[in-house]
Amino acid sequence: MGQKSSTSSFSLESRISNFISWVIKRNRIIFLIPGVVLCALFLGAILIFIAGGSPLSGYLDLLHGAFLGKRQIRQLLNESAPLAIMSLGYSVAFRARFLGIGGQGQQDFGGIIATIVLLNFGISNPWVGLPSAIIFAGVAGCLIGLVVAFFKVRFSMNEVVVSLMMNY
């Protein structure tokens, strides 16, 4: 009555977890990424269909809105470049086995400091103003990350908790 069979304990989550770990161990991540993208597209198509729309029309509108025209490409690059830079920072943190979730706050704080530098110091030369704003923004973002690192090292606090509590 209380015994479970060994096959029922082998759940779908453990199968997926075992498959992902096998793919990563075997350096076959190149097969995992297209699979995840295709699953996301398929699930999105199902949701669009349930909402009463045409998945093909929705995806064509998505591509048209992102890539057709100079303005759309410029906007795409403008919004995706900071995300790409933050993902590089996340990859370094994950490689060091740290879970850093403060990238958005660091980016926002860096943007605020860059704006303050450019507006208050009246740097009219773009060859001096832009690099100085980038340097000050990077230092400001690092200082926000340093607060989390201080609490992690000094008090052995979880960096996720400290990052979340810095929101308030």
pLDDT in tens, the chain (168 residues): 445 444 555 677 787 788 777 767 766 666 777 888 899 999 999 999 999 999 999 999 888 888 887 888 888 888 888 888 888 888 887 887 777 777 888 888 999 999 998 888 767 777 888 888 889 999 998 898 899 889 989 999 988 888 888 877
pTM of the model: 0.57
The encoded tokens of residue 120 equal 């208050």
Q: State the Cα–Cα distance between residues 39 and 7, nearest whole angstrom.
A: 26
CB-CB neighbours of 157 under 10 Å: 14
